A and B are shown apart, each in its own frame.
Chain A
Amino acid sequence: MKEINNRGLACPQPVINTKRALEEINQGTVISIVDNETAFENVKRFAENAGFNITTAEKNGAYYLTITKGEGNGPVEVVAPVCETSQVVYLFTSNTLGSGAEDLGETLMISFFNSLLEKNPPRVLMLVNSGVRLAIQQSRVLEQINKLVERGTEVLACGTCLDYYKLKEQLAVGRITNMLEILDNMTGGDRVITL
């Protein structure tokens, strides 16, 4: 058992100390002692969301958080939580969002993908026509798409379109698909949003 004295420490230090102590052990118990409500709430949130067992007690004006790491509980890396993929399919028909000024459309597309990262990841992104440019090496939303893929989203790029724009070699994420598969995804019963 390991005791960590976080008395007198301000947020976020108690969380960092507790996290570090739990990372150092394979299994066992860490008692984190804090003396203010913010630190108490924050350490509690950290432990609960990381999947550890936790009990709390208050004595002599301090909070004692007893956190147990056992086999099979407590994934230490909780920065990127795995989300369920919601059953939404996006069909991108262009590399810009909406019709109008080209540079505005590009900015809006970046903003769209940034926002998408805040929601549950969609099941599939389908890219047709100039939409395939979203998944090439030079794409300004490549990083966002990669993050969605990490969280379970599938990316399908239209092969005919990649051929037409001569971009097949530059496809950086996802796999090449055909119209039949695109159609299957559109009629498979998921919610299809066309952009």
Chain B
Amino acid sequence: MGPEVLAQVLRDLPSNTDPNLLVGLDTSDDAAVYRLNSELATIQTVDFFTPMVDDPYLFGQIAAANALSDVYAMGGTPLMALNIVCFPSCLPPELLGDILKGGAAKVSEAGAIIAGGHSVQDDEPKYGLAVTGVVHPDKIYSNASAQAGDLLILTKPLGTGIINTGIKADMVEQEMIDKAVKTMATLNKDAAAVMVNVGASACTDITGFGFLGHAAEMAKGSGLSLTVFAEAVPVLPGAKELARMGIIPGGAYQNRKHLGESVFVEEGVTREQVDILFDPQTSGGLLIAVKPEQAHKLLKELHQQGVLESQIVGELKEPEDHLISILRRDYRYERD
């Protein structure tokens, strides 16, 4: 659902007062965190969706990588997961078998186990997972604890929503599909491990609300404004061309509407660059806020650990007129 509708519906729910609920609905964070004792907190998250690729095994992998991502974004370790399945009776059961195998492979890669699940009959297949993870209560990576001056690192290229829309229109070359699928099926495990190792101020993962939607939640939650370096943002090959052709998912426009006037776009930033920043992502990368003196170290280690497309894409600032400013500039840094 779009962020606007969701916010409206959630407003009417009773708020929680349990002091052990460390992260709940209030800051629009990635997952819920509940403190069990002074050493241990449990992370709970759930995510499922309809297939975006034809191959059932790959779809299973992508859905699992996407569901596990919320645990990584909190700085936690996934322990176990439950399958959530919607499946039509008219489709061959082997198809579902392949979806579940793909999911199981990713959960196993994450070092976690699948402990059960639930299925219902439905017109359209849907698959995802409810994931349980753990984290030390003092080492939770919230999306609302960024500091002014922090630089922002994005660990995966954007454009999966646009590419997925292009796939439906049969307008994407196989090479570009492969690249997008590989990006979506990649766990945020290595990126999170580097982040926890080097240290960071705040973290979230980029999913349905798009880069700007999730970045806005980080800035708002931290009481700051944010600058995006448009030229520095990593983008999947083909996404810009598709955006220029108007192959953009409706979610991108919903995300834009939700942020409305709070986004400033500098002259010279192209329309497709902005479209891609609003593009809803499937299993997107981590967005990490980190002190500037640590940013280059973090980026270097991300690259060394194989998170090759990580880039510094923006910075957090004291509150300004606009919550987000998209500037034309690039970001370069000197390698040692």
Chain A: minimal CB distance from B249 (Å): 6
Contacts of A42 in B (CB 8 A): 246-248
> How many B residues face the partner with a CB closer than 8 A?
25
Contacts A12-B165, A45-B271; is A118 near B240 (CB within 8 Å)? yes
A114 located at the interface, meaning its Cβ lies under 8 Å from any Cβ of chain B in the complex: yes
B244–A118 touching, CB < 8 Å = no
B244–A49 touching, CB < 8 Å = yes
Q: How far is the CA of A78 from the CA of B271 in the complex (A)?
A: 16
A179 located at the interface, meaning its Cβ lies under 8 Å from any Cβ of chain B in the complex: no
Interface residues of A in 1-35 (CB under 8 A from B): 10-13, 15-16, 19
A41 located at the interface, meaning its Cβ lies under 8 Å from any Cβ of chain B in the complex: yes
A45–B246 touching, CB < 8 Å = yes
Instruction: Count chain A CB atoms within 10 A of each CB in B166, B175, B235, B244 and give the residue with the most.
Output: B244
A43–B241 touching, CB < 8 Å = no
Our pick among A10, A41, A81, A114 for the contact of B246 (Cβ within 8 Å) is A41
Contacts A12-B166, A118-B235; is A45 near B253 (CB within 8 Å)? no
B309 located at the interface, meaning its Cβ lies under 8 Å from any Cβ of chain A in the complex: yes
A108–B245 touching, CB < 8 Å = no
Chain A, interface size category, equals 20 to 34
A12–B247 touching, CB < 8 Å = yes
Contacts of B275 in A (CB 8 A): 45
A12–B243 touching, CB < 8 Å = no
Contacts of B175 in A (CB 8 A): 143
Extra inter-chain contacts (13) besides given A11-B247, A42-B248, A45-B246, CB under 8 Å: A10-B250, A12-B165, A12-B168, A38-B253, A41-B248, A42-B246, A44-B246, A45-B275, A46-B246, A49-B245, A79-B171, A108-B308, A118-B237
Which chain B residues have a beta carbon within 8 Å of chain A's beta carbons? 165-166, 168-169, 171, 175, 179, 234-235, 237, 240-241, 243-250, 253, 271, 275, 308-309
